[in-house]
Chain A
Amino acid sequence: MVGSEGCDTQAVGRRRFYLACIYGLSTIMGMALAVPAAVYLLFPPRSRKEDQWVEAAELSQLEVGVPEEVVFRHNRVDGWKISSEKTSAWVLKKSDTEVVAFAPQCTHLGCAYRWEESKKNFLCPCHTSNFDIEGKVIDGPAPRPLDRYLVRIEGKKLFLGPIQKSPEA
């Protein structure tokens, strides 16, 4: 029957419209929730003030040519918390105007390494990575030289800034 066929096409059209609206509107709402949530979870917080300079040591108390572990306090911004915590650096005074400060973690898996005075190199006890006095890898699994702090000397005081990652060897 012709009449009922006309009715059917009308019904099919209406059904198609309903489906388009249901899926379309649901998708828009899903995106409107998912995108802000992804941004919220993935974007870094806005004001990070971690690149502050901290006074770490008196230059006169460092011996030239011998790496020394210097412990100092710095403010760590951790989410909604700013905490003052102890941290350290292996500092090598080359002269009164040139100082190198290594970050205290091995570049392999973040263990604390130490200076072996007898061998004149840095040794990481975890997987026996060895670094020379300039922080370069001698042997072991470490993928790159020791990371360094930015260093500034003001008068007789040593200031340390943020840690700079060393490039992969």
Chain B
Amino acid sequence: MTVEELSIEDVVIDLNEVDFSDIEDKYRVDADSGIEEYVVVDGAPIAPESKVPMLKKVLTKLFTNVKARLTSGEDVDAFHMPIENGKTTGYMFVQFATEKDAELAIKSLNGKKLDAKHRLFLNKLSDVEKYGAEGAVNDEAPTPKVPEFKETDYLKSWLQDESVRDQFMINFGESLVVNWQKHKNIEPAMERLDFNTGFSTFSPKGSYMLTLHPQGIQSWGGSQFENIRKFYHPEVRLLDFSPDEKYMVSLSPEPIKLPPADHPARASFPFGPEDEGHKLIIWELSTGIPVRSFALPPNLEQNKKIEWPLIKWSHDGQYFARKGPDALAVYESSSMALLEKKLIKIEGLQEFEFAPAGVKLAANKKDEVSSVIAYWTPETSNQTARVTLMELPSKKILRTSNLFQVSDCRFHWQDEGKYLCVKVDRHTKSKKTIFSNLEFFNLEEKEIPVEKIELKEAVINFAWEPKTDRFVTISRLDQGPINLAIPKNIINFYAPETDNKKGKKNATSAINLKKYKNFKSIENKHSTNLNWSPKGRFLAAAAIASSNSKIEFFDMDYDGNTVLASDEKLKNENVKASLKQIGDADHFGLTNLEWDPSGRYLAAWSSSWRHKIENGFKIYDFAGHPLVVEGIDNFKQFAWRPRPATLLTGGDRKKVRKMLREYSAQFDEQDAMEASEATKELILNRRRLLEEWSNYRASVERKLQQLNIKIDVSEEVEDIIIEEIKEEIIEEKTEIIE
């Protein structure tokens, strides 16, 4: 049979055998499409037919309130309510304008309580079809895969260092380095070169090191700084931690965006649909699980500069709070839910601050401590400005204090939570100049007495000395525009007045009101920053961002025989302090300062994030002697590794103090040995270098001889000094002497 002979009639086709699946695929009608804007509403009240228009009206209002548009047009009824026996059935089909409106309605109204008996349930019609059918959803929950336990190195290993050294991290160029520090000796503990990280930090107790990357955060730990967890948070910018190191808070300008439902990335994606669009995330630091996320309040979305941290934690990490417009949201960390499921309404709430330690209120039983929160509200037409102290979780108001003509308030808690200083910036009636009041709340006394210091100047910085009741302020007279070139700042030192009438306790002393006394003021300073050593006693006052950056070191207890004449006066002033400036250091380009956890060393650095001048870091001892000076190009950041709280009891520490002389002799001996070792090594090294050099020179000279090249370097030329005396007649004058 040839091709021409073949005609179509001859071919018999069995239609059953033809594969049409490709065509069927192409023209298949998707049953789901077209019903996306339908929502099944359940739980509505069952009403007689006559009341249907009323019900529709109520529901329409509900939907318009959340801005979900119903389908509209003439003769179009958005509601399809089946009616049985003259009554509605409680469920209905509602048609929205678009799929988006349907989603919006579900999101905002699903679970909405209409009244005591009725609660609305909204579901997409397509979802009902999809999941409602028998067998559409697997009845058996698949066991989630538990990732295999990976053992990490001991996270506190750095505390076991034999010579009890501290660690610090430096971040420069494309490198991240962690060093050991002992006095002048720096030894690397970890080096990551070509490591692209933004901001990096240690967790509050030092167990983890966290680095920021474009995709998220990584945590590192153990003696080798292994990678422990990754926290997926694209474009993350800011980090914060709960004080117990359990939680980490991160903020990114990028909202969380879920991959599509069927995308393979979805399975390993740490966030659920409830996190969509959120920017603020709380993580459990040890597991890397996001435990809660928040959207940024709309009033902050526009802000270019975000005040950070947005979430503040109570001293034990049990509660955390966020500030909202006219409300404070306090959450319980254990459940990540609102305390008593309610916001605390506070009209005009400006700022709040948790006490940094448990407060032993006078009403508390022995050793019982409370979480205390302080906040302030501004003046309104019929109310004064007010500072309030509240106990948590009882929400009991402990104390309020009324203030007038307030422009701003700052809270300064003493580190043990014993005292709170509220720095109140007040304005004169003309609102032209600012001056400050300091209000002191003594938390441990009955009724919480308040003492007030009224000043003529504006206080620009305030710092409690850790573990004491002394403090230092920097103030300046507010006289219009600031000329940075003229040093106008005043450093003021305060201490409570000691009772000079010993034994004569009068009746009022039942309320132990502390009288703070300004026992020393140093005027005409550029200083702007106050940094107390974490153990107290030593203070570094620094002038930053002025043409002559300088750090001054003060000792608050400079006792001893060498009290200078000028300080003599202080002794008579009934304060427990003997102040002396023990050092100062010019530090060009200074941008940041940080004391090491032991309070013996101060690190100061110039970060290229601020400017490109003299980038690098220096480590000073507490008296301002520079020990380490490193200029590093593109130096970004320095951070001491924090230490957890000491485990020694009060008794142990007393013992150490008693034995200090012996211990220090031992340490001195060790130091001397190390120093002599180092010198020895240096000398040996130099000797080696010198020998290498002379060998090299000898070989070169031999070679030159072989090549027969004469180098007449030592050809001495006799200096001939020719002195020329030139006479020049400047002026000739003839004077006739009579």
The yes or no verdict on A and B being binding partners is no
